[in-house]
Amino acid sequence: MLSQQEQLRYSRQIMLDKIGVDGQSKIKQASILVVGIGGLGNPVVSYLSAAGIGKMFLADGDKIETSNLQRQVMFEEEDVGANKADCMADKINQQNSDVDIEIIDEMLGEELCDYYLPLVDIVIDCTDNINTRYLLNKYCLSHNTPLVIGAATGFDGQQMIIDPREENTACYQCLFPETERAPQNNCHTIGILGPILSIIGGVQALEAIKLITGIPVKTNQLNLFDGLSNQWSKFKVSKQESCPACSR
């Protein structure tokens, strides 16, 4: 049930036919793990908090650096040196005190994945670490948990949804086999323009809300954004019969 205050706060979402009171109640009851509280994690966590997600687990072992401030817009100069997940929790508590936040102030490994994934409805990958991406892919498949992937470098971004609950859904290794290694370019090597991260992070938050409320989403599809031309390209991704991760 939504309180009168909640109905007022989320009224602009509730009036949407595809959300309504039932959808907002689902959002309130949802639990999400956000991995990486950097350039993508900042807008993702902010939008999900504002939307009224019931519980969020924030995972990041990094500390805020001065060079982060150009794109990680929830952080301020006085936050430099603080743990990203811990600092973001403080920001969210000020934005929406109804959201239950749990901090994971270290990098996720296999043991932590096994512990936290059964506790959440969705995992959102906001990392720029290829090893973590393969790890999340593996454990989301194992725990049958939807995974919303985002990445951005330079003027470009990409987004993809993996939903192991659906039959014949391709996974990250179908697209980038671990034996061949996916491209490892990131903002540390080729730079990034901040608004690109807001666009991709906004899409990740949008897709998470759609998954929670039962609005259809596109799986088996890689979405690429070109910030120079402001154009999206969509590519079909097929489940690979030989994929060591999802073809079992």
Find all residues with CB under 8 Å of 29, minimum gap 6, and list them. Answer: 54
CA proximity to 83, closest of 41, 136, 135: 41
Backbone angles phi, psi at 171, to 5 degrees: -115, 180
CB neighbourhood size of 230 (10 A): 9
Q: In sequence order, what are the residues at sequence separation of 6 or more whose Cβ sits closer than 8 angstroms to the Cβ of residue 77?
A: 66, 69
For CA atoms 34, 39, 44, 47, give the dihedral sign.
Answer: positive
Q: Is 187 a catalytic residue?
A: yes
Of 126, 140, 187, 246, which is the active-site residue?
187
Q: For residue 141, which amino acid is it? A: L
Contact 159, 11 (CB under 8 A): no
Catalytic (active-site) positions: 187
